Amino acid sequence: MASNDVVILGAGGAGLMCGIEAGRRGRSVIVVDHSEKVGGKILISGGGRCNFTNLSVAPKNYVSENEHFCKSAFARFTPQDFIQRVESHKIPYHEKTLGQLFCDDSAKRIVEMLKEDCQSAGVQIRTGCKVKGVKKHHGVFQVDTEAEVLEAESLVVATGGLSLPKLGATGIGYEIAKQFGLKLVERAPALDGFVLGPQDADLAQLAGVAVDCEVSCRGSLFREALLFTHRGLSGPVALQASLHWRPGSMIEINLSPDQHLFEWFREKKAQGSRMQVKNILSDLIPARVAEWLCSKYFESTEPLISVSEKELKKFCDRLHSWKLQPQGTVGYSKAEVTRGGVDTVELSSKTMESKKVPGLYFIGEVVDVTGWLGGYNFQWAWSSGWCAGQVV
Ligand SMILES: Cc1cc2nc3c(=O)[nH]c(=O)nc-3n(C[C@H](O)[C@H](O)[C@H](O)COP(=O)(O)OP(=O)(O)OC[C@H]3O[C@@H](n4cnc5c(N)ncnc54)[C@H](O)[C@@H]3O)c2cc1C
């Protein structure tokens, strides 16, 4: 039986950050992961360039049963703190859009940085090591792995969510929470886009076309690209909306966020335009989408000058507020994150320690704090990992 101060389950962003901080405090730390590679999700993130943080991180960028829970961690370890580390490792980066910071060359640089920091803090990392179970005996945690039993005063669960099982995602973090009597918030795949039902099957004709638009879902509004797929909707704006979606909810799409369509058509009409509506509309939105919308919602093939204002207004209103009812989201095979997880009422917002089970910590995606697309999920992994690392 090997004894350490701290055992961390999961060598993703949260687990490694926690290990570095605890190691720097002189604690003996072992990080265990069943995957062969550490930071598997970091490596594939951001299209291989890792969107490692966002310049403005606020509770409104997260979905959680308790929107205030994340505040303390973000105040203690900020995006600037992580950026300083990236700079001190001379990793070149750039702001892509909306405050999103990406590596210039490769996400590998972030994993190398974390591994180097672990090494200099004396943290042991054991990969290819499956965790079979955990128990607490006389105040000491025992982690039963395929190789050996590890003992520690502090056990940190950083096993992430259920998304991308082929990369090693498992539900063990949730099982451990349940085993120790901690409540869970219902989990669902998120940041995965939508599958549409049979009523919208004809939208598959638009597969591959992207449109810049606004999408709102249950009070949250996003503006980015929407991509039509064979099965539904993808692209950043659909991914964002899928985080807020619940079964049965509608999504509302504004296909012309910058131009008031009715006024715009009226002006063209006043100028005596003899073009068909679909052809005029294709000046604003991709022609295939304009044609599809007209074939579906605007029967008249008359030139604009002959179209009644009532008919035109009805069509324009629909395009500003096009409602669809997705059948579901795409699922864990494509989801960037898992929404829900260990209920934050169970944890200290300062340390991430369980209130019921001293010495047991949950950090990163396994906790019910789920960020928007845009670097927010990694910042949560860094900040929550850092907080636990100060005390484990
Ligand atoms: C395709 C994709 C792209 C993404 N891009 C971005 C991005 O650009 N920016 C951003 O902010 N977020 C991004 N995310 C989300 C981000 O990757 C996660 O939120 C973040 O990695 C969570 O970190 P974590 O340490 O909590 O969990 P993870 O990174 O999931 O780490 C958990 C670790 O636990 C290990 N583990 C699981 N079960 C066991 C077990 N039974 N025994 C031992 N080990 C186990 C896993 O192998 C894994 O290494 C992306 C996600 C995906 C899937």
Tokens representing 389 are 């690392």
End of a domain among 330, 349, 379? 330
**Cβ-contact 207, 358 below 8 angstroms:** no
- For range 248-275, the mean pLDDT: 95
* Local confidence band at 167 (pLDDT 50, 70, 90 cut-offs): confident
- Assess whether pLDDT exceeds 80 at residue 1: no
pLDDT at 301 over 90: no
Q: pTM of this prediction?
A: 0.96
Q: Which residues 6+ apart lie within 8 Å of 175 measured at CB?
A: none
Q: Are residues 255 and 348 in the same domain?
A: no
Number of separate domains in the chain: 2
**Residue 2: pLDDT over 80:** no
Whether 85 has a pLDDT exceeding 80, the answer reads: yes
| Mean of pLDDT values over 97-124 | 97
pLDDT, position 221: 97
Is 178 found in the same domain as 54? yes
What count of Cα atoms within 13 Å lies in the side-chain half-sphere of residue 14? Answer: 29
One domain, residues 273 and 378: no
127 and 257: one domain?
A: no
313, 330, 347 - which closes a domain: 330
Residues 54-76 have a mean pLDDT of 97
Residue 166's pLDDT band, with cuts at 50, 70 and 90, is confident
* pLDDT for the residue 338: 98
When pLDDT is cut at 50, 70 and 90, the band that residue 147 belongs to is: confident
In this prediction, residue 300 carries a pLDDT of 79
Do 109 and 103 contact (CB within 8 A), yes or no? yes
pLDDT for the residue numbered 302: 87
- Domain boundaries, position 80: 2-189+338-389
- Mean pLDDT throughout 167-188? 96
Q: How far is the CA of 45 from the centre of ligand 1 (A)?
A: 9
Using the predicted structure, report yes or no on whether residue 361 has a pLDDT greater than 90.
Answer: yes
Q: From the alpha carbon of 163, which atom of ligand 1 is closest?
A: 53
Confidence of residue 98 (pLDDT cuts 50, 70, 90): confident
Is residue 186's pLDDT more than 90? Answer: yes
> To the nearest whole number, what is the mean pLDDT of the chain?
96
Do 73 and 222 belong to one domain?
no
Which of 330, 351, 380 is the last residue in one of the domains? 330
Q: Ligand 1 pocket test: which of 143, 361, 377 has the largest number of ligand atoms within 8 Å of its C-beta? A: 377
Residue 26 shares a structural domain with residue 149 = yes
What is the arithmetic mean of pLDDT over 29-36? 96
Instruction: Tell whether 140 and 12 lie within a shared domain.
Output: yes
Helix pair 79-88, 376-389: axis angle to 10 deg: 90
Residue 140 forms beta bridges with which residues?
A: 137
- Based on the fold, state whether residues 321 and 370 are members of the same structural domain: no
Instruction: Kindly indicate the confidence band of residue 97, based on its pLDDT and cuts at 50, 70 and 90.
Output: confident
225 and 211 inside one domain: yes
Which CATH number goes with the domain that contains 27?
3.50.50.60
Same domain, 169 and 237: no
- 41, 111, 370, best to mutate for ligand 1 pocket (most atoms within 8 Å of CB): 41
Task: Please provide the DSSP assignment of 172-206 as one string.
Answer: HHHHHHHHTT--EEEEEEESS-EEE-GGGGGGGGG
Task: List all residues whose CB is within 6 A of at least one atom of ligand 1.
Answer: 9-15, 32-35, 40-41, 44-46, 50-51, 130-131, 158-160, 163-164, 168-170, 172, 336-337, 364-365, 375-378, 381
Question: Does 38 have pLDDT greater than 90?
Answer: yes
The pLDDT of 253-265, averaged and rounded, is: 97
Kindly state the average pLDDT of the residues 362-380: 98
Contact 226, 252 (CB under 8 A): no
Residues 273 and 167 in one domain: no
